[in-house]
Amino acid sequence: MKVDKTDGEWAKELSPEQFAVLRKKATEAPFSGEYDSTFDPGTYSCAACGNNLFESKTKFDARCGWPSFYDAIPGSVVFNDDTSTGVVRTEVTCAVCGGHLGHVFDGEKFGTPTDQRYCINSLSLKFEP
């Protein structure tokens, strides 16, 4: 079920930092996020709507400063072209509420099963053991 709220409604529910990332597509500073170095078993869900996004078994240490995953839970995310920096990147958003999560990169040779790196803002996530 899709969640459709106004920016005003989201602003009341999210912290200002979460609102900036999830609704305005900001990026948190590298190495500042709560989940960058978390590797406990569990599930990462959308901080805005609770949609399950990533299993901890797909998380890896890319040393990039943001939580990195090599795969998302099927059907949990949507991919969009992002040309905001002048370079085409693939934005990752929550399939339920449309919240901005981060970006996915292909072919970086981290040795993961998918050869992908989902570079995700901690502020867009909630971890549940």
Which candidate in 46, 94, 97, 119 is catalytic?
119
Tell me the H-state helices in 4-98.
7-13, 16-22
Distance of CA 37 to the CA centre of its chain: 15
The closest of 52, 84, 49 to 71, measured between CA atoms, is 52
Annotated catalytic, 49?
no
Q: State the Cα–Cα distance between residues 68 and 35, nearest whole angstrom.
A: 10
CA dist 21 and 114 (Å) reads: 26
User: What gap in Å lies between CA 35 and CA 12, rounded to an integer?
Assistant: 23
Give me 90's structure tokens.
């693939």
Q: Which residues are catalytic?
A: 119
